Amino acid sequence: MWAFMAKFNPELKDTWIVDAELTKLNTPQLYVAAIYFVVTTITTVGYGDISGQNMAERLFCSILMLIGVLSFSFSTGSLANMFSTRDRNKQDLNEKLNTLKEIEARYKLSPNLHEEILKMIRLEHQNTKIDISKFQEFLPY
């Protein structure tokens, strides 16, 4: 789209191709330059060696920058959320294990009972897709 906007501009005097002095490039080379511009713009690197020169190109650049910023923000937020959830799950597990230690010391739990509760806590916090409610239906009362 970026190359198409400049290449097929009837006036071809006020485009990014002329400004970046790329008029002597053949079509494949021009498309590589266009891909280079789009990637640097979307990834928010933006070296500035290629930029929009007319109103249509500037509008296209603005939209492309918004897409890049929104994509970058979304992916950064998703990654931060993933790590936050992982840390929260680990913290919950540690709290339950500490509580189990306190209960064991206070009530003198038998080693067998302690081990069974420990297994249950670890099973609950494993990162598997086991539907525990369905599994519990098969257990004897």
Query: What confidence score (pLDDT) does residue 97 get?
Result: 92
Residue 55's alpha-carbon distances to 1, 8, 14, 23, 132, in angstroms, are 15, 15, 10, 20, 59
Q: pTM, whole model, 2 decimals?
A: 0.57
CATH number of 2-137: 1.10.287.70
Domain boundaries, the chain: 2-137
- Sign of the dihedral through C-alpha 47, 33, 62, 13: positive
| Average pLDDT, 10 consecutive residues per value, the chain (141 residues) | 69 75 84 89 84 85 92 91 81 90 90 90 71 70 65
